[in-house]
Amino acid sequence: MRVLVTGGAGFIGSHVSRTLLAEGHDVTVLDNLSRGRRDLVPEGVAFVEADLANEAATEQALRGHDAVIHLASFLEVAVSVAQPVLFAENNIVNSVRLLEAMRRAGVGKIVFSSSATVYGVPKSLPLRESDPLGMQANPYGATKVAVETFLGVYRTRYDFDCTIMRYFNPYGPNELCEPESHAVPNIVRGMLEKRPIPVYWQGQQLRDYVYVEDLARAHIAPLEQSGFHVYNVGTDIGTKVADIIETVSRIVGYDAQIDDLGERPGDVEASYASSEKLRMELGWAPQVDLEEGLRRTIAHYRERLGIRE
């Protein structure tokens, strides 16, 4: 199958592209490199530097493909609170531009990178796909809800095959966001560089951390689906940020320094998945447990930062 990956030069996109190649697919990455890195695009992948706002370039890149995996979005929650219009334009409007370009190019299959944030403040845990979408605490979550809704429209009006993947908390190699707002890379890099680690809520938030290579594998089977589907992608285990700090500290062999930042606008207290539907319907299950995933992540950052053990 010929698959175009938007945002394929980013953290998750680079792993998805590599996994697609390993499964024998022909892969094209479309990325404007505003947040992605050209060196993360795997060898053997066709690369198109373009912005989804450029509808003609997007349509041209799409021609001849069978499916799209859509990962191109802004994702920093705190930045979305500060710049909601920027997030709406990039995440919502550009996604609709992509859908229109797909329609004109005759590509009717899409796998969309959504988020557990669409559930809002959980009323019960673990979160399931049948749970209602909640009131959003930040513009980032609102953009994901909006794009999911547009996908429903394109399924109804144009018979698109749409699979929505609601990620929980991916982590692992290649996470190189600037500014970095995610817990695991901030913890690992801070620990390796022996500088204070920024911690919100005293590290008591409960999250579901899924290793990025496991997450990437979850995108393969949906390419064979037709219809409209929604899946959670997580490990079914809630872990405190404080426990991540403790585990990384044990692996690297010294105690962390903490920069207590208090509360962060837009956060929920606890969120973790039930991924039973994904296991039952598509046979996916995480293969890398948290400690092994953290060891691999630490090894990656040691190499990238040039820090010896």
- Choose the CATH number for 2-171+210-233 among 3.40.50.10470, 3.20.20.10, 3.50.30.30, 3.40.50.720: 3.40.50.720
Q: Cite the DSSP H helix spans in the chain.
A: 11-22, 55-62, 77-82, 84-87, 94-105, 139-158, 183-192, 212-217, 241-252, 276-282, 290-305
Task: Tell me which residues of the chain have a pLDDT lower than 50.
Answer: none
Angle at 144 between CA 143 and CA 145, to 5 degrees: 90
140 belongs to the catalytic site: yes
The pLDDT score that the predictor gives to residue 298 is 96
Q: Give Cα 291 distance to the centre of its chain.
A: 20
Q: How far apart are CA 112 and CA 74, in angstroms?
A: 14
Q: Taking a C-beta distance cutoff of 8 angstroms, is the pair 139, 87 a contact?
A: yes
Considering the entire predicted model, what is its pTM?
0.94
pLDDT tens, residue by residue, 141-187: 999 999 999 999 999 999 999 999 999 999 999 887 665 667 899 89
CATH 3.90.25.10 fits 183-207+237-305, yes or no: yes
The pLDDT score that the predictor gives to residue 186 is 87
Q: Cite the DSSP H helix spans in 226-305.
A: 241-252, 276-282, 290-305
3-state secondary structure of 68: strand
Domain boundaries, the chain: 2-171+210-233, 183-207+237-305
* Active-site pick, 140, 167, 200, 209: 140
